[in-house]
Structure formats: structure tokens, C-alpha cells
Amino acid sequence: MDKLWAPWRMKYISGAHKDEGCIFCTKPKENNDRDNLILYRGKHAFVMMNLFPYNNGHLMVAPYKHTGNIEDLDDNELLDMMHLVQKSIKAIKKCMRPDGFNTGFNIGRAAGAGIEAHVHFHIVPRWVGDTNFMPTLAGTKVISEHILDTYDKIYKEIHLEDI
């Protein structure tokens, strides 16, 4: 029997991740971007991989300001976020070649927000046929590449324009 191996999801499954505080506030203050899956830092926002991805390459763009309300962000924060969304999509297109993207905000529990207290923008690469029998019948998503391998590929692409 084949095994699906995704050890980084255990914290999510067990609920152990909930005691760590707001990841969008704590992780950018640390100096270990690769371990924290932070791909890029802008002036008002940053790009981070989702540790519990909907799909391989699932990124999140969050402002440094802690707020659950998009209307609390000023024009500079919103502009920086959208610039980082654009930069992220360009990088993913180059190194992963998806067929499309799901993008957007989930604001509030009713909209599916996992972290309601800190607004963030999701970027989820999609491929034709990426929803097969596993998520449909088993409620399990197969991600065939280790998250740090994906991090390294996207990190390289997202920083190319900075050279």
C-alpha cells in the first residue's frame, strides 16, 4: 500500500498550531525566513507560503499591520499587497506553470477565514485535473513535492527582479 507523507500537516490536524499566536505578526519578526516560509518582504506587506496548503505553491500575502478588516488598511498597504500578489503570480507561473489561479481574501469565519484576526490574500495555483478522487472521496489532498523544495523554487523566481 502506498503512503501519503505530509508531516507538516500534523500540527493542523492535531490543533497544536492554534497556540502560536498570530503567524502574520510573529513570523516576520523572526530572522529565519526559510523555516517560517516567508518568501518576500515588502515595505508594508510580505509573502508567505501556507503551511497547510490547498494546493502546491499556495501563498499568502499579508500586511504587517494586525487587523482583520481590509478597510483598516491604508492605500500604501493595499498597493504593496497587490504588488506582491502580482510578483508572486509571476514567480509561480515561471517555476510551476499552473493552468490558472484561485485568488482572494476570506474575510470572517463565514467566508472560510482560518485566521480571522489578520487579513491576508490567498494565491492558489491550479492545474487542469488537480481535483481527482482523493479530495472527492477521501477528503485528502495529495501534494507531491516537499514544501521546502517548493519554497526554494519560488524564492529563486520571486527574487530575480531584485538583482
Binding annotation: 50, 122
| 59-100 residue pLDDT tens | 999 999 999 999 999 999 999 999 999 999 999 999 999 999
Predicted TM-score (pTM) of the model is 0.80
In a domain, 137, yes or no: yes
Tell me the CA distances in angstroms from 29 to 45, 95, 132, one per residue in order: 13, 28, 39
Binding annotation for substrate: 50, 122
- Reply yes or no on whether 17 is catalytic: no
The domain tally of the chain equals 1
Model confidence at 144, pLDDT cuts 50, 70, 90, reads: confident
Model confidence at 141, pLDDT cuts 50, 70, 90, reads: low
In a domain, 2, yes or no: no
Grid cell locating 161: 527582479
Catalytic annotation, pick one of 44, 58, 118, 120 = 120
Q: Does residue 5 register a pLDDT over 60? A: no
In a domain, 1, yes or no: no
Residue 115's CATH number: 3.30.428.10
- Residues across the chain: 163
